[in-house]
Amino acid sequence: MPTESASCSTARQAKQKRKSHSLSIRRTNSSEQERTGLPRDMLEGQDSKLPSSVRSTLLELFGQIEREFENLYIENLELRREIDTLNERLAAEGQAIDGAELSKGQLKTKASHSTSQLSQKLKTTYKASTSKIVSSFKTTTSRAACQLVKEYIGHRDGIWDVSVARTQPVVLGTASADHTALLWSIETGKCLVKYAGHVGSEQLALTASGDQTAHIWRYAVQLPTPQPVADTSQISGEDEVECSDKDEPDLDGDVSSDCPTIRVPLTSLKSHQGVVIAADWLVGGKQAVTASWDRTANLYDVETSELVHSLTGHDQELTHCCTHPTQRLVVTSSRDTTFRLWDFRDPSIHSVNVFQGHTDTVTSAVFTVGDNVVSGSDDRTVKVWDLKNMRSPIATIRTDSAINRINVCVGQKIIALPHDNRQVRLFDMSGVRLARLPRSSRQGHRRMVCCSAWSEDHPVCNLFTCGFDRQAIGWNINIPALLQEK
204 in a structural domain: yes
Long-range contact set of residues 75-83: C-beta below 8 Å, sequence gap at least 24 = 75/118, 76/118, 79/114, 79/118, 83/111
From 30-34, 390-394, 464-468, the region with the lowest mean pLDDT: 30-34
* pLDDT exceeds 50 at position 233: no
- The predicted structure's pLDDT at residue 241: 40
User: 81 lies in a domain?
Assistant: no
19-23, 103-107, 267-271 — which is least confidently predicted?
Answer: 19-23
Per residue in 306-345, pLDDT (tens digit) is 999 999 999 999 999 999 989 999 999 999 999 999 999 8
Confidence of residue 232 (pLDDT cuts 50, 70, 90): very low
Question: Does some domain include residue 442?
Answer: yes
Of the candidates 193, 185, 151, 150, the one whose C-alpha atom is nearest the C-alpha of residue 169 is: 185
Tell me, what CATH number does 343's domain have? 2.130.10.10
Distance CA(176)–CA(410), nearest Å, equals: 26
Q: Which residues contact 221 (CB under 8 A, 6 or more apart)?
A: 169, 171, 183, 192, 193, 200, 203
Q: 401 near 421, Cβ under 8 Å?
A: yes
Residue 235 lies in a domain: no
User: Residues 6 or more apart from 36 whose CB is under 8 A from it?
Assistant: 63, 66
With 0-12 CB in 10 A as exposed, 13-18 as middle and 19+ as buried, what is 238?
middle
More confident of the two residues 112 and 473: 473
The boundaries of the domain holding residue 450 are: 145-220+253-483
Structural domains in the chain (count):
1
CB 43 within 8 A of CB 57: no
In a domain, 354, yes or no: yes
Percent of the chain with pLDDT over 70: 71
The verdict on residue 281 lying in a domain is yes
Answer whether residue 451 shows pLDDT above 90.
yes
Residue 83 lies in a domain: no
Least trusted range by pLDDT, from 47-56, 62-71, 151-160, 234-243: 234-243
CB distance 481 to 430 below 8 Å? no
Identify the residue with better confidence: 343 or 1. Answer: 343
Q: Which residues pair with 181 in a beta bridge?
A: 175, 195
Other Cβ atoms less than 10 A from the Cβ of 315: the count is 10
pLDDT digits (tens, 9 = 90+) for 334-393: 999 999 999 998 877 788 999 999 999 999 999 987 789 999 999 999 999 998 888 899
Whether the Cβ atoms of residue 365 and residue 400 lie closer than 8 Å to each other = no
Q: How confident is the model over 126-149, as pLDDT tens digits?
A: 444 444 444 444 444 445 588 888
Task: Tell me if 97 is assigned to some domain.
Answer: no
Task: Please state the rounded mean pLDDT for residues 67-74.
Answer: 85
Q: What is the pLDDT of residue 318?
A: 97
**What pLDDT, on a 0 to 100 scale, did the predictor assign at position 130?**
43
The DSSP line for 437-469 is: ----SSSS-SS-EEEEEE-TT-SS-SEEEEETT
Helix/strand/coil for 475 = strand
Residue 83 confidence (pLDDT) = 87
Condensed to tens digits (0 to 9), the pLDDT of residues 195-229 reads 887 654 457 889 888 899 999 988 877 777 665 54
